[in-house]
Chain A
Amino acid sequence: MTRVRRWLPGLLLVTPSIVVIGVFVYGMLGWNLRLAMTDRHDEISEGRFVGLENFVTLWDEKRWGISVHHAIVFTAVFVLGALALGWLLAFLMEKGIRGEGTFRAVYLFPMAVSFVATGVVWRWLMNSGQGERAVGLNRLFGMLGLDSLQWEWFRNPDWGMAAMAIPAIWQMSGYVMALFLAGFRGVPEDLREAARVDGCTEWQVYRHVVLPLLRPVTLSALIILGHISLKVFDLIVAVSGKQIITDVPAVFMWVAVFDSHDPAKGATIASYIVLAVSVFVVPYLVWTLRRERGEKRS
């Protein structure tokens, strides 16, 4: 009884938040899934239960296939690009360098700005005009005598989404850098020193001591970048609007809800996005929970 009295007030204090999250996160995810399983393809019909029909027929739609393909290309380029650049920046700074504060501040500041605002300038930078009409990067290439580098950027039907990943890399690699830098600095100097005394070269120290210890940081960065990537929306809308040429599931969902007025289709697309994100976020959360428990026990 006394034990119950000990923890009950705490439980009561967090109950409102728990209820709210229960309703707004889990309740609404369920509600959305239920809607996706109905034939409510306009805003007035009641909607009969049709099972997974919408989830199957969505694949018949050409635009869906395109947007999934785009999301995959974007995710691959963005995640690998941001990871590589962020790691490189951290690696260059790891041992301390004059003016480190300034470098960090500049690499990180894009994080403080919205994709909508930076989208304005990236749309200009990645303008597809070439030759006389060129502005932005194409004009810069022309000025540098690198005319052959001029291309359509995000308007390229095959690799446009790779171009679209550039602003995202610019925005997020500073964050990855900060994560890796914290990781690098978290490696105890004793460990490195011990390896050096054992006769390891600097590269071997890095390869066998530092790198394995960076694994958790790399995993965190991967999860964060990946889930941002799969739901990317602001950036695409800001740079190119709702054009099919840069369509991704999140934009397609927006179009389905507001332009096609098809709630069931919107809900189906949304469910797919949730599924894609959950596939790697849920194992990550479970892993984090287990690890924390393990730490407490040991």
Chain B
Amino acid sequence: MKGGTTADAPARERDGGARAPRERDPVARARRRSGLARGVRLALLVAFLVVFLIPIYVLLVTSFKPLTEADPSRAWAPPEVWTLEPWRVAWDRLAPGVVNSVLLAVPGALISAALGSMNGYVLSKWRFPGADVLFTLLLFGMFIPYQGVMIPLVQLLVRLNEVTASLTGAHGVFYGAIPGLLLAHVVYGIPICTLIFRNYYVTIPDELIEASRVDGAGMLRTYWSVVLPVSGPAFAVVVIWQFTSLWNDFLFAVFLTGPQSWPITVMLNNIAGAQTVPYSQQMAAALLASFPTMIVYVLLGRFFMRGLMAGALKG
């Protein structure tokens, strides 16, 4: 910075000594140059926009193509005859997975938000000794590769199956079923949900909590009447975040579910992995599987963004 000052000093002197008409010159030049720079930036951004949209173009165009137009020579052309047939076939195959995914993602997101809210409240406003260290230990759970817990998790869920079978006679309640997958998602979602709520609650003034305390309200009372009413945005962020990750999850699903309980991602992968399924149906299926999260993104992108940023820790 200092070097810049000395190097530019003679130039400034020269400008200062110049007559008025010449003085306007560099300003105009700078303005023209910044106009050019803006044009270049815009052009680059548009170019990247086009590149980013290529996969979407392919998905859409291919999904409406009849089988007769599956020839490689027409790969990039829009369909001559638009048909909904691939979408119909894809829907028939995916439908059971849609039900499973809804049963998983909706309750999962809500339970996660409730847990995260309580944890975040305590860790920001009702702190106990060692809360920071505990929070860091909790955060590690957000980064662990789930492969590291998968085999024990499977063993635990199998054991839970045996226990519930001997107690209630119901078979396959946890492992290979939605409740087991739901349990896993809720548990491993605790760290991120707690983090988002904690970072949000930190912004509530301590005086509000203190005032409530002075009024004789306990922890839960304060939560209910002071904290919860202003928690709306944080709930939106967490519910959207968890809904998206549960809907899109593949790893837990392939390890923990069976044919009856496959969520949509596993179903989609089975369709796409089969060599016999035409591209048009695969792409229609991919679009169908992405619809709920895309709609959430389009309508509530603002909240989705905040969840993303929270993942970077410093929210």
- The residue on A at minimum CB distance from B184 is A24
B145 touches A199 (CB 8 A): no
Annotate A282-298 by CB proximity to B: 1 below 8 A, 0 otherwise. Answer: 10011011001100000
**A143-B42 CB under 8 A given contacts A18-B134, A116-B289, A250-B147:** no
B151 touches A263 (CB 8 A): yes
- The residue on A at minimum CB distance from B134 is A18
**Residues on B with beta carbons closer than 8 Å to the beta carbon of A115:** 248, 250
A125 touches B305 (CB 8 A): no
B65-99 CB contacts (< 8 Å) to partner A: 72, 75-76
A107 touches B52 (CB 8 A): yes
A11 touches B128 (CB 8 A): yes
Cβ-based interface call for B148 (8 A)? yes
Cβ-based interface call for B231 (8 A)? no
B76 touches A140 (CB 8 A): yes
**A178-B126 CB under 8 A given contacts A24-B153, A200-B1, A269-B147:** no
In the complex, A101→B219 CA distance in Å?
Answer: 41
A103 touches B45 (CB 8 A): yes
A103 touches B49 (CB 8 A): yes
A199 touches B12 (CB 8 A): yes
**Residues on A with beta carbons closer than 8 Å to the beta carbon of B272:** 116, 119-120, 123, 238
Cβ-based interface call for B36 (8 A)? no
In the complex, A106→B313 CA distance in Å?
Answer: 24
- A contact residues, range: 35 or more
Stretch from B19-27, B136-144, B159-167, B169-177 at the A interface? B136-144
In the complex, A139→B54 CA distance in Å?
Answer: 14
Residue in B148, B151, B294, B308 whose CB lies within 8 Å of A273: B148
**Residues on B with beta carbons closer than 8 Å to the beta carbon of A13:** 118-119, 122, 126, 219-220
Secondary structure at chain B's binding surface: helix, strand, loop or mixed? helix
B1-50 CB contacts (< 8 Å) to partner A: 1-2, 4-5, 7-9, 12, 38, 41-42, 44-45, 48-49
B143 touches A175 (CB 8 A): no
**A125-B1 CB under 8 A given contacts A17-B190, A233-B251, A285-B136:** no
The smallest C-beta distance from A27 to any residue of chain B, in angstroms, reads 8
Annotate B172-188 by CB proximity to A: 1 below 8 A, 0 otherwise. Answer: 00000000000000011
The smallest C-beta distance from A109 to any residue of chain B, in angstroms, reads 6
A106 touches B49 (CB 8 A): yes
In the complex, A220→B138 CA distance in Å?
Answer: 18
In the complex, A224→B2 CA distance in Å?
Answer: 36
In the complex, A273→B150 CA distance in Å?
Answer: 12
**Residues on A with beta carbons closer than 8 Å to the beta carbon of B137:** 21, 26
Residue in A17, A227, A271 whose CB lies within 8 Å of B194: A17
Cβ-based interface call for A159 (8 A)? no
A186-224 CB contacts (< 8 Å) to partner B: 195, 198-201, 204, 208-209, 216-217, 220-221, 224
Cβ-based interface call for A32 (8 A)? yes
**Residues on B with beta carbons closer than 8 Å to the beta carbon of A133:** 72
B250 touches A112 (CB 8 A): no
Cβ-based interface call for A168 (8 A)? no
Cβ-based interface call for B244 (8 A)? yes
B290 touches A114 (CB 8 A): yes
Q: State the total of A-B contacts with C-beta under 8 angstroms.
A: 279
- The residue on B at minimum CB distance from A7 is B128
Cβ-based interface call for B205 (8 A)? no
Cβ-based interface call for A49 (8 A)? no
- The residue on B at minimum CB distance from A196 is B4
**Residues on B with beta carbons closer than 8 Å to the beta carbon of A143:** 76
**A114-B308 CB under 8 A given contacts A125-B58, A293-B132:** no
- The residue on A at minimum CB distance from B156 is A28
A253 touches B138 (CB 8 A): no
A114 touches B312 (CB 8 A): no
The smallest C-beta distance from A104 to any residue of chain B, in angstroms, reads 8
**A204-B1 CB under 8 A given contacts A10-B219, A121-B59:** yes
In the complex, A9→B138 CA distance in Å?
Answer: 19
The smallest C-beta distance from B122 to any residue of chain A, in angstroms, reads 4
**Residues on B with beta carbons closer than 8 Å to the beta carbon of A267:** 151
**Residues on A with beta carbons closer than 8 Å to the beta carbon of B250:** 114-116, 233-234, 237-238
**A32-B152 CB under 8 A given contacts A108-B301, A112-B297, A178-B308:** yes
Cβ-based interface call for A59 (8 A)? no
User: Which of A's residues lie within 8 Å of B, judged by CB?
Assistant: 7-11, 13-14, 17-18, 20-21, 24-29, 31-32, 35, 89, 92-93, 97-98, 103, 105-125, 129, 132-136, 139-140, 143, 170, 174-175, 178-179, 182, 195, 198-201, 204, 208-209, 216-217, 220-221, 224, 227, 230-231, 233-234, 237-238, 241, 249-250, 253-254, 257, 263, 266-267, 269-271, 273-274, 277, 281-282, 285-286, 288-289, 292-293
List the 5 closest A-B pairs by CB distance, nearest first: A10-B126, A114-B248, A7-B128, A112-B297, A274-B148
Can you identify 23 A-B contacts, CB atoms within 8 angstroms?
A13-B126, A14-B118, A14-B134, A25-B144, A108-B308, A112-B293, A112-B296, A114-B249, A115-B250, A116-B250, A116-B289, A117-B265, A117-B289, A121-B55, A135-B75, A140-B76, A198-B4, A238-B250, A270-B148, A274-B145, A274-B147, A282-B140, A286-B136
